[in-house]
Structure 1
Amino acid sequence: MKNLTRYSRLVLAVCLCSVVTFANIYWIQPLLPLIQESFHLNSLDTNLAMSLPLLGIGVGLILFASWSDAAGRSKILLAGTGLGIGVSILLPFAENYSIFLILRFFQGVFLAVCPAVAVPLLREELRKSWLASAVGLYISANTLGGLCSRILGGAGATYFGNWNAAGYILGGISLLFFVVIYMLLPEQHHFRREKFCLRSCVHGYMSHMKRPQLLLIYLLIGLAFGTYVNQFNYLMLTLSKAPYYIPSDLRSLLFLTLLGGTASASLAGRFSKKHRLISGVITGLFMMLLANICLSFSQMPMIITGLILTSVGFFFCHAQASTLVGRSVNAAKGSAMALYSLFYYAGASLGVFALEPFYQVWGWQGIIGCTRIALVLCMLWVILYQMVDREKADPVKTV
């Protein structure tokens, strides 16, 4: 490690933090049927195991983004990640489901430190020529952590016969990673402390919320991600029952379809050079709607095709929407993006409450139907966005 340059140590440490963060959030997703069986739960309570940590991330993003401006990013990154891993180690020992959910929520709050401070840390400490590639590696690490942990969790639970074993394995690996992160992460040299002012933060958030176009994008991405991530949750429950009876290790392999989203993120960048960003948003939504039709069939080849198209469409839409928010504001960009992330994760957390009634009445086809309604609503919001944009560009003059 001593032979690595300071820049390489920083990028590697941040990427490992990203792997640990998203691994500890998503490892349990393919194991939801086992959680349901272990704690004797209904489908709504089972899905809270994924919803609450995502809500925690949304809350933690707001807290850590503001706090790190005043206290420094490296120290907060280590503290938050360490506390998050500590919760992960405790999680498999929880015998009461209420305690389990409380731990999952605080796990999300603490682990939100990485998505809150990683990019600002890289931006402050790296040369501009390094930044684009470093951020690209960081985003790839997000996908890698979530994907590998799902596969590891599914395989571990199948091999040992319970979800707790997968938690022990992931907690041990995360602890080893944290030791490496602690040894790698260099001290900040270019951090400029800013005085925290609650009034200015609230003013920045409120000013963004008063802009109709930004609010529409926030609502759109919250609804899109809410249906996307919870659709996977209900699919895991569906595939564990008749007529599929697919075990955890094989169910977890379905998350390899997320790699379609990784590929679409790069395509989104090329698309935005030739077309408007809002056109990219609607293109992604159309791909998700096409995927929704594929998922309505019960054959596994169609389900796999639908999952790939869903990932491609969602991440294409997400890349365009997040860029659109960044380009739409000239002041308080940090708070604008923080609100975007808050709606993003809050949508994922609350989406289960919209999908659950449909699942109870119509099962998997109900999930497909509800998702289709949500996507059509998102498209209507895009039309509203364009109407507002047209009015701003060509205001009506009144006498």
Structure 2
Amino acid sequence: MSHCGEDMVSSLVSTLSPEERHRRDSPGLRRVNLALFIAGLTTFISLYSAQALLPALSRAFHVSPAGSSLLVSLATGTLALAVIPVSALSERFGRTRVMLVSSAIAVPLGLLVPLCPSFPALAAVRALQGIALAGVPAVAMAYLAEEVHPEAFGGAMGRYIAGNTIGGLAGRLLPGFVTDLAGWRWGLAVTALASALLTVAFWALLPRSRFFTPSRPGLGGLLRHLRDPGMRRLYVVGLVLMATFVTVYNYLGYRLIAAPFGLPQTVVALLFIMYLAGTFSSPMAGSLADRIGRRPVLLGACLVTAGGLLLTLPDSLPAVAAGLLVMTTGFFAAHSVASGWVGRRAATARAHASGLYLFFYYLGSSVGGSAGGLAYEHGRWPSTVAYGLVLLAVAFAAALGVRVSAGEKRTAPSPSPGSE
């Protein structure tokens, strides 16, 4: 069968018997939500375990803040490069198989990280870890779009993003606390062991795909999504949002350890508890988008993110903490809606659509996060905030121009009149 013919079959399957898909409050949906919550948890524990330790790693290996941030940028950069080929493999071999194999490869690489003897070795393993971790985020959105009833999709996507937020939180808090007690190697080792245990739980819980139809990987799906102006705008939203977010969390630790704050590593690590704001805002934003429309929720979330960033400007710890809380709330709400919109907008080749979104999203983390380091080194925190506000203005403008596609009108719940 031709690739075009296979896409047509996949499209028919994606709209066939929607009543059989996992509906809101069903046992099947609860299992899907729990499995992918754990998947997001373990993926982001591993991906961002080095971020809270950047000041300690700068001291240990005598590298600058921008140089140390490569340990985050390399992992997210190689993940960005891997998500498109991995998503293509999932079109051929299946969503669940790719997620399970990817997570199995990531476990031993995570256990190698604390054993690295030098900064180049640590950077190399982190780069490989990013490739291995790509399988879950590259496929999860497509899996949800195929298996979950449209009425429950936004909430399910939000719960998956909530797992990402708690994983990001645990990946920063856990090594931060352990590092103060036993050093950075033990901090990373404990994180890797926790991730391995969570991976086993993910393997046990993940339900098999029921609505997946194999197709041969090709460029047709990628080009189709790139020709869609709405998809391109959503990809830009993901890129600049993530660039802003990673910049703030990469370099805020350096600001708080230095004067006038002078905080210890353990206290700085506690600020990552703000990730819990995203745990609540992402499912709420997804459910709200199901009811009133995606565009107004996405635009509002961008404004909330910008407002939170501005609040971090004063040299006041309560102001910084409040700003970080507001910014994190807005960011995860925006990411939940934008990523869910990509999955719903794609009538065919959904893994390609989500793979492209994640490519740009993690490209923002890698390139945008490193560029944010240059802003911090040249103008400290005011320049970092200015850099983030410019990026958020781009996100707002891109989101403003997204229109609902014909495919969305056929498959998605009807929004309130005029909401999108």
Q: TM-score range by the shorter chain?
A: 0.7 to 0.9
CA positional deviation for 1:260: 1.7
What RMSD, in angstroms, separates the aligned Cα atoms of the two structures? 3.1
Matched, 1:165 2:182: no
Distance in 2 separating the partners of 1:153 and 1:321: 30
Q: Which residue of 2 aligns with 1:84?
A: 106
Distance in 1 separating the partners of 2:341 and 2:202: 33
CA positional deviation for 1:104: 0.8
- For the structure 1 residues 370 and 320, does the alpha-carbon distance in structure 2 shift closer, same or farther, using more than 3 Å as the test? same
Matched, 1:254 2:271: yes
- For the structure 1 residues 372 and 275, does the alpha-carbon distance in structure 2 shift closer, same or farther, using more than 3 Å as the test? same
Show the 5 A alignment for 1:246-285: 246-269=263-286, 271-272=288-289, 275-285=292-302
Instruction: Give the SS at the match of 1:261.
Output: helix
**What amino acid is the match of 1:223?**
V
**Deviation per residue, 1:208-254 (Å, 9 max, x gap):** 22333322221122011111112110101211222222222211111
Give me the identity figure in percent.
27
Distance in 2 separating the partners of 1:264 and 1:212: 27
CA positional deviation for 1:329: 4.2
Q: Do 1:268 and 1:319's aligned partners in 2 also have CA atoms closer than 8 Å?
A: yes
Q: Do 2:163 and 2:279's aligned partners in 1 also have CA atoms closer than 8 Å?
A: no
Instruction: Give the SS at the match of 2:330.
Output: helix
Matched, 1:176 2:202: no
Q: Which residue of 1 aligns with 2:16?
A: none
**What amino acid is the match of 1:316?**
A
Matched, 1:58 2:80: yes
Q: Do 2:96 and 2:209's aligned partners in 1 also have CA atoms closer than 8 Å?
A: no
Matched, 1:213 2:230: yes
Q: Which residue of 2 aligns with 1:372?
A: 389
Flag the structure with more relative contact order, 1 or 2, with Cα contacts below 8 A and sequence separation at least 6.
2
Matched, 1:362 2:357: no
Matched, 1:204 2:221: yes
Q: Which residue of 2 aligns with 1:394?
A: none
TM-score (normalised: structure 1): 0.84
Moved more, 307-316 or 187-196: 187-196
Distance in 2 separating the partners of 1:322 and 1:177: 24
Q: Which residue of 2 aligns with 1:396?
A: none
CA positional deviation for 1:176: 3.5
Q: Do 1:72 and 1:191's aligned partners in 2 also have CA atoms closer than 8 Å?
A: no
TM-score (normalised: structure 2): 0.80
**What amino acid is the match of 2:216?**
F
**What amino acid is the match of 1:113?**
G
- For the structure 1 residues 134 and 209, does the alpha-carbon distance in structure 2 shift closer, same or farther, using more than 3 Å as the test? closer
Q: Do 2:172 and 2:269's aligned partners in 1 also have CA atoms closer than 8 Å?
A: yes
CA positional deviation for 1:134: 6.2
Structure 1: stretches of 5+ with no match in the other structure: 390-399
Matched, 1:18 2:40: yes
Structure 2: stretches of 5+ with no match in the other structure: 1-26, 406-420
- For the structure 1 residues 299 and 94, does the alpha-carbon distance in structure 2 shift closer, same or farther, using more than 3 Å as the test? same
Show the 5 A alignment for 1:88-237: 88-118=110-140, 120-121=142-143, 137-160=159-182, 162-182=183-203, 184-185=204-205, 188=208, 190=210, 194-198=214-218, 202-237=219-254
- For the structure 1 residues 135 and 301, does the alpha-carbon distance in structure 2 shift closer, same or farther, using more than 3 Å as the test? same
